[in-house]
Amino acid sequence: MPAFERYIGIDYSGAETPESSLKGLRIYMAEGDDGPAVEVPPPPSPRKYWTRRGIAHWLAERLAEDMPTLVGIDHGFSFPIRYFEVHHLPPDWPAFLDDFQRHWPTDADHTYVDFIRDGVCGNGAARMGNPRWRRICETRCRAKSVFHFDVQGAVAKSTHAGIPWLRYLRQQLGERVHFWPFEGWDIPAGRSALAEVYPALWKHAYPAGNLTPDQHDAYVVATWLREADRDRRLRAALNPELTFHDRSIAVVEGWILGVR
């Protein structure tokens, strides 16, 4: 039996502010066994596209419903272990969320990621990373570092913009949602879950057709999650074969779903 009833793929963007309507923010959702994943439009408003704040509030509502849901978001959920060592932080993900949001309040009104990078607000200088630092999962799939800003295909800005919203969802939902793998590699039956994804792992298997690159990434995630849950690939992806050492680090750094 599938573990989930609903699958949500989110293509994320760290551009502008939490209130900005961004073409790069896309949501696709798949339910049941049949039919393609469909795009979820933002609530009716003068804004044409989703905002980061709007996505966080929408997710909080969906994940509070009595429908086990798996959400894949394409930004980093944590930082390399070297970051924790350099900044003398305990290897504790919930504490990391609080510490990061204090220094990088990218969920605050009218706040650009670059405002904090430039010292206009927050205290990013006290919690900077190095683009040479990479998580184990990033080295495995040749993804860029979460600190590699201002290059094509980088997820640094979306990661720095998105992490405070993970904290928000955790505060809003408590035990209703499982943050994988930080709260365990096995997701309890009937529980909704959030996982970090990397659409490049799967997009070659799904033609883009008339979809924009952002739409395609979100569509691919929702589609793959549903198909993998039904043919048992998801079970293997949620429990990758890792050494004890790598597994202990990954519960702090996080893991990209589907990376072996």
Task: Please list the helix, strand and coil fractions of the chain in percent, rounded to the nearest 5, in that order.
Answer: 40, 10, 50
Q: How far apart are CA 253 and CA 246, in angstroms?
A: 10
Kindly give the interhelix angle for 93-103 and 244-253, rounded to the nearest 10 degrees: 40
**DSSP string over 120-180:** SSTTGGGG---TT---HHHHHHTPPPTT--SSTT--HHHHHHHHHHHHHHHHHHGGGEEET
Query: Model confidence over 56-68: pLDDT tens digits?
Result: 999 999 999 999 9
Give the number of C-alpha atoms closer than 13 A to the C-alpha of residue 132, restricted to the C-beta side: 0
Q: How far apart are CA 159 and CA 157, in angstroms?
A: 5
Residues belonging to the chain = 260
Note the pLDDT of residue 46. 87
| Cβ-proximal residues to 142 (8 Å cutoff; 6+ apart), any chain | none
Strand bridging mode 26-31 / 38-39? antiparallel
Average pLDDT over residues 167-191: 97
Average pLDDT over residues 166-194: 97
Note the pLDDT of residue 154. 80
Note the pLDDT of residue 150. 86
Average pLDDT, the chain: 97
